[in-house]
Each structure stands twice: as structure tokens, then as C-alpha cells.
Structure 1
Amino acid sequence: MTTLSADATSTRRDAIDAFATIVMLGLTLTWGVNQVAIKLANIGFNPMLSMFLRSAVATLLVFLWCRYRGIRLFERDGTLWPGILAGLLFGLEFILVFFGLDYTSAARGALMLNTMPFWVLVGGHFFLGEKMSALRFGGLLLAFAGVVLVFSDNLSLPGPDALFGDVLCLVAGIAWAATIVVIKQSSLSNAGAEKTLLYQLSVSALLAIPFIPFGGPLLREVSTLATGALVFQAVFVVSFTYLVWFWLMRRYPASGLSSFTFLTPVFGVLSGGLLLGEPLTLKILLALCLIVLGLTVVNRPRRRVIPG
């Protein structure tokens, strides 16, 4: 057991308090803005170069954090091959996201990517024996109705190839869900969160390298803003917020934390409109409402049956 885990056990909370609420609002805001950061970084750099640098820097930072905390990473625990598979899926997710956001808007990309919980629901039903209730199936239908609305909205299309970018981000959501299913179903479920994250970051950094030639010139219109967006992703989003998320998961009920996930697409859509001036059409806002409602239904805690 790591030092961090030991601390977590001794300070375990039974409910979400004000501190956790404030932190989760900050995390979901950061994750929502991440699509905007990717688009801004893509303005200055080859998308695959951005992805490689982001993952490589984050790998180094998380590794140094583990060394500082005394977290063991190189024990033989049967996680190597599942870890590589999870890393490949994680890398595929971000290859699709980085390329996808070259074509579509941050708002549309955020909606497509954040269908992930619904794909986890489907994967859990077929591969993990987690039967889907009628209520959660209804939430799934609401989300897909939102996806259909996005695809039907021509007013918010940033260019002729935007639908292609939408599809890439949608498939990225499926890859994200597949990563979670692999982690749940394999020995990674018993591994430390930091070790699992390092598998994902290190493998995805290597996976990005052969795709760099397909992203065009290494440098596009390099600026302070594009460079700052790349540093923001590597240092803050991928390294800091993920570690904070794991810290929260050790201390608070997972069901309570997951209830905040609906905010990520909300912040993603709003940040695209406010920071990039993307059109927030009626269909996009309706799609957002449907996906958020679907997320709320899917993440609704199941009622406990009290014996006797």
C-alpha cells in the first residue's frame, strides 16, 4: 500500500462535502476547457506533435510525483499487457480527438467525446455483466438523440469537413469507454491509479510518434497562446487534475463524484462559444440538454434494497 493510499483510508468521507464540490467544479471546468486548449495548440503545432509533447511531459511529471510519494511502479503484478492495451486505447482516443478538433468545433467535439459514459454503459452490459436497467437505457436514448441533433445542425458547422471531425470525436468517446472497460476487467483494477495513468501516458506518447507525419508541418503559426495552451494541457490538465481526481476518488464516494460529470460537456460547449466565438445554435443547446439529461439518468444511484 502506498503512502497516499494509507492517507486516503484514514480520511475516507461518506458523503460529498463543500470542499469536494468546489474541487469537482474546478475539475469539470478544466476538462471542459480542454477541447478549447487542444484547438488553440493545434493552431501553432502539428496535432500529433502536440499530443506527443503533452503525453511525454505529463509522463515525466507523474513519474516524478510517484518517486516523491514513494509509490512503487515496477513490481510484477500482472498489469503489463493490460496496461499496454489501456495505453493504446487511450492513445487512440487522443489521436482521434486531436485530429478531430482540426476539423470540427470545440463545442461539437466536446459533445461527441462526452458520450463516453453511455458507451461504458453498453460495454459494461455486454462485457462486464453489469445489466442495463430500463431507466439507464432511457438515458442512453436521450444521449443518442442529442448526437443526432449535433449531426443535423448545419448552422454550427465550422467547415465542410466538420462532420468528419464529429465522427472522429465520437469514436474517441468509444475508445475512452473501451479503456475504462479494460481497466475494470483486468488486473489494472487492483493497481494504483498513478501506475495505470503512467501506462496510458507513456504508451500514448509512443503511439503518437508514427502519426506525426500525417499532421502536416511540425510548426504552424506558433504563438504564445498556442504554446501556453500546450503547456496548460501537459502540466495542469493531464498531470495535476488527473492526480487530484484520483485523490478525490480515494476519499469520497465514486457515485457522488460521478454525478458531476454532466458539467464537463456544459463547460466544453460554453467555453467554445465564449473563448473561441463558436456559434451556439438552438440545436447545439438542445443536444447539450439531452446529453446532460441522459448523463444525469445514467449516473443516478441505484436504490439499495434493505433486507427485512
Structure 2
Amino acid sequence: MAARRNVDGFAAGLMLVLCMIWGLQQVAIKAAAHDIVPIMQVGLRSGISASLVAIFMLLRRERFTLKDGTLLPGLVAGTLFAAEFLFVAKGLEHTSASHMAIFLYTSPVFTALGLHLKLPAERLTPRQWLGTGIAFGGIVTAFAGGFLGTAVSPETLKGDFFGILAGAAWGVTTVVIRCSTLSDAPPAKTLIYQLATACAILLAYAAATGQSGAVTMTSVAWGSLIFQAVIVSFASYLAWFWLLTRYFASRLSAFSFMTPLFGVSFGVILLHEPIDRYFAVGAALVLSGITLVSLRSAGRSRDTVPGLAGEEA
């Protein structure tokens, strides 16, 4: 496998942009939910994006062969990708978006645990585990205002459980990519596996459950679908998989803690949702945790793999 680097300024800046995009996609899905049910939005955008990635590969003259050992892990990653968004859609039928944001973004914990067990180069130091814990605590704090004084019903717990499953599916997807032949595959190839598989599974699920006809193509629906297909599922995911081929996945995943904070911020700006002091404190904790996870250790790190020069955490 190719050597990975610690997160540098370029990677951190790109992850910041990606987290902003991923935070905005939740607002886009919500804005168009009355015109296109979420499961159809994700299924359609995956199909459109898969076509864009195929065109991208043709223009770059990238070969798509099934003889390089990527077919099985590609199908597994695609199935997990579909499961993640299926769990999100199901969970939102029972719990609030704030609860879903918290449990979905437990994904870095599942990623870090999986990679810690599978790859010596991805093992986190105590300081970095502390940073992960602080960042997750920041997410809980940021949304605490929405929990106080609210009784937890069985329906809410059911939705929260779907959120945890979505976070686990996302985290395991990263582990599968990092620990298989997809680790060194072209990012576009990894992405097209996920998008094409997810499109087939999600649209089939929508048809089987009678949701495929719940589509009204208004201007809001078109805008949301184009944003999700071109910017989110094509450009941002392609950039994400490119980063995974060059940097430690566990460090990159820690930045995803910022996504729900951006999501809430866009909700305040675009949907006029209220904000409280808990969010401000939580944001500070998240940024502090990410800093702990991402900063280089003094001297030689435990993440350095003998024989792979320059892989310091």
C-alpha cells in the first residue's frame, strides 16, 4: 500500500470546504423533501453522479477493469454507502435532525476503532484518542440545548438507533476502503463503485416500498438534486477519496466532526433555525479536539511504520 502522510495545511483546508458542503447537503435535502422523498433524492443523485464519474474517467482515459481485485470490496463499499443513507432516511422518520446529526457523526469513532485494530500505521496515540473524545463531546454539547427538557420516547430511541447504524456504516466503509485493494485504486473508481451500487439498491428499495412515485420536479427540487449530484456526490466525494489515498484516514475522519456544526449554521442562516450558547461552546470543543488529533507528535510517532519514512502522525 502507498505511504500515507499526516494531515497538512492543504488537506486541512480542503477538509474544511468538504465539511461545509456536506453540512449544506442536509439543508438541501430538507428543503426539497416535500417534492422528492429523501430516499429518492439520494438514489437519483447517486445515479447522476455515477454517470459524471464515468465521463470523468473517460476524459482522463482511466481504465475500469474488474481484474485488479477491487470488485468485491467495491461492491461491499457501495452496499455500506447505500445502507448509510437508508438508515438516515429511516431514522429521520422517528427522531429529530439534531439527534440524527449526533449519531451519524459517530462515524470517526467506528473508523478509528476499525483502523486501530487492522492497521498498525493508523493506531491513535492517547493524545489523539483524547482529542477524538473531546470533539465528540463538543457535538453532544452543541446540540444539548435541543435535548434539555425533552422526554425521550421509544420512537425517538428507535430513530437514534438508526442514526448509530448509519454512523457505523459510514465508518466501516472507510475501513473497507483503507484495508482493501481500493486503498490504492484511483479515487474515481472507488467512487463509481459506491455510487452505482447505491443507486441500484436505493432506487430498488424506493420502488419496493412505494416511494418511487413521490417525485415532483419543482425549481427547488431541481436545484437540490443538481447540487447534491454535481457538488456533493461527484466533486466532494471524489476529493474525499483522493485524500484517503494520500493521508491517514483516521486523522481525516476527525474533521468530519465539523460537518454537523456547519449544518446547524446553514440551518440558522437559510432556514432561520434558532441557535443557543450550547452550540458556541460545542464548536470550540470540536475545534480543540480536531487540533489534538491532527497536530504532529514531537519526535518519532507511534504511527510511524518501520520502513515507511515520513509517516509521522
TM-score class, shorter-chain normalisation, is: 0.7 to 0.9
- Shift in Å at residue 69 of structure 1? 0.6
Given residue 171 of structure 2, which amino acid in structure 1 is its aligned partner?
Answer: A
Partner Cα distance (2:290, 2:91) in 1? 23
SS at match of 1:44: coil
Distance 1:249 1:216, change over 3 A: closer
Stretch moving more, 234-243 or 65-74: 234-243
Q: Deviations over 1:7-26 (max 9, x none)?
A: xxxxxxx9636xx7765543
Distance 2:156 2:30 in 1: 13
After superposition, the Cα gap between the structure-2 partners of 1:152 and 1:22, relative to the gap in structure 1 and judged at 3 Å, is closer
Q: How far off is 1:57 after superposition?
A: 0.7
- CA positional deviation for 1:291: 3.8
Alignment of 1:164-183 (within 5 A): 164-183=158-177
In the other structure, the counterpart of 2:264 is 269
Distance 1:115 1:50 in 2: 23
- Matched to 1:16, the amino acid is G
Gaps of 5+ in 2: 1-6, 302-308
Question: Once the two structures are aligned, what percentage of the paired residues are identical?
Answer: 36
Q: Distance in 2 between matches of 1:281 and 1:166?
A: 22
User: Which residue type is aligned with residue 135 of structure 1?
Assistant: R
Q: Distance in 2 between matches of 1:68 and 1:96?
A: 35
Give the match's secondary structure for 1:279: coil
1:58 alignment counterpart = 49
Indicate whether 1:139 and 2:134 are aligned.
Answer: no
C-alpha distance after superposition, 1:198-251 (max 9, x if no partner) = 11111111111342144757326653213311221012211122334456677x
Distance between the aligned counterparts of 2:228 and 2:222, measured in 1? 10
Deviation at 1:104?
4.9
- Please give the secondary structure, in 2, of the residue aligned with 1:42: coil
What is the distance in 2 between the residues matched to 1:269 and 1:302? Answer: 32
Q: Deviation of residue 110 (structure 1)? A: 3.6
Partner of 2:306: none
Letter of the 1:87 partner, please give it.
Answer: G
Residue in structure 1 matched with residue 290 of structure 2 by the alignment: 295
- 1:224 is matched with which residue: 219, 225, 232? 219
* Alignment partner, residue 27 of structure 1: 18
- 1:135 CA drift (Å): 1.5
CA 1:155 to 1:281, structure 2 compared with 1: closer, same or farther past 3 Å?
Answer: farther
Aligned partner (choices 77, 92, 113) of residue 83 of structure 2: 92
Provide the aligned C-alpha RMSD in A: 3.5
Residue 266 of structure 1: CA displacement? 2.6
Q: Which residue of 1 aligns with 2:228?
A: 233
Distance (Å, rounded) in 2 between the aligned partners of 1:156 and 1:102:
21
Structure 1 CA distance for aligned equivalents of residues 273 and 31 of structure 2: 13
Deviates further, 211-220 or 195-204: 211-220
Aligned pairs for 1:52-201 within 5 A: 52-102=43-93, 104=95, 106-129=97-120, 130-146=122-138, 148-149=140-141, 150=143, 153-154=146-147, 164-201=158-195
Note if contact 1:156-1:278 (Cα within 8 Å) is conserved in structure 2.
Answer: no
Q: Unaligned regions of 5+ residues in structure 1, if any?
A: 1-13
CA drift at 1:166: 4.2
1:98: how far off? 3.1
Question: What SS is found at the alignment partner of 1:74?
Answer: coil
* CA distance in structure 2 between the partners assigned to 1:254 and 1:128 by the alignment: 11
One-letter identity of the residue aligned with 1:138: L
Report the count of equivalent residues. 289
Q: 1:302 to 1:104 in 2, by over 3 A?
A: farther
**Maintained 8 Å contact 2:28/2:224:** yes
Deviation of 1:87 (Å)? 0.8
User: Which residue identity lines up with residue 9 of structure 2 in the other structure?
Assistant: I
Letter in 2 for 1:128: L
Question: Normalising to structure 1: TM-score of the pair?
Answer: 0.78
